[in-house]
Amino acid sequence: MSTEPAAGPPASIAIALYDGFTALDAMGPYAVLATHPGSTVTFVADRRGPIRDDQSLTVNVDTAFDDLPDPDMIVIPGGIITRRMARDGHPVVDWIRRVHPHTTWSTSVCTGAVLLAAAGVLDGLDATTHWIAYDQLAELGAHPTGERVVIRGKVATAAGVSSGIDLALTLVQRWSGDFVAQAIQLGIEYDPQPPLDAGSPTKAPAKVLEVVGRSMRAAEAASLA
Angle at 151 between CA 38 and CA 219, to 5 degrees: 100
> For residues 141 and 213, which CB has a smaller minimum distance to a copy of itself in the complex?
213
Q: How far is CA 20 from CA 1, 8, 79, 202, in A?
A: 28, 32, 6, 27
Angle at 147 between CA 144 and CA 149, to 5 degrees: 100
List the catalytic residue out of 13, 93, 110, 114: 110
Question: Which residues within the stretch 48-87 sit at the binding site for a copy of itself (CB under 8 A)?
Answer: 50, 55-62
Q: Are strands 143-144 and 40-45 parallel, antiparallel or unpaired?
A: unpaired
* Residue among 162, 206, 217, 224 that touches a copy of itself (CB under 8 A): 162
Q: Are strands 73-76 and 149-152 parallel, antiparallel or unpaired?
A: unpaired
* Residue among 74, 81, 92, 110 that touches a copy of itself (CB under 8 A): 110
* Residue among 130, 134, 142, 154 that touches a copy of itself (CB under 8 A): 130
The minimum distance between CB 59 and a copy of itself, in angstroms, equals 6
Residue count at the site for a copy of itself (CB under 8 A)?
Answer: 67
Q: Select from 23-31, 86-94, 99-107, 136-144 the region that touches a copy of itself (CB under 8 A).
A: 23-31
For the chain, the maximum distance between any two Cα atoms, rounded to a whole number of angstroms, is 49
Q: Select from 2-10, 65-73, 90-98, 176-184 the region that touches a copy of itself (CB under 8 A).
A: 176-184
The minimum distance between CB 188 and a copy of itself, in angstroms, equals 4
110 belongs to the catalytic site: yes
Q: Does 170 bind a copy of itself (CB under 8 A)?
A: yes
Q: Does 163 bind a copy of itself (CB under 8 A)?
A: yes
Q: Are strands 126-127 and 143-144 parallel, antiparallel or unpaired?
A: parallel
- Cite the active site residues: 110
- Please report, as ranges, the residues that interact with a copy of itself according to CB under 8 A: 22-24, 27-28, 30-31, 34-35, 40-43, 50, 55-62, 110, 130-131, 148-149, 159-163, 165-166, 169-170, 173, 178-179, 181-183, 185-196, 198-201, 203-205, 207-209, 211-212, 216
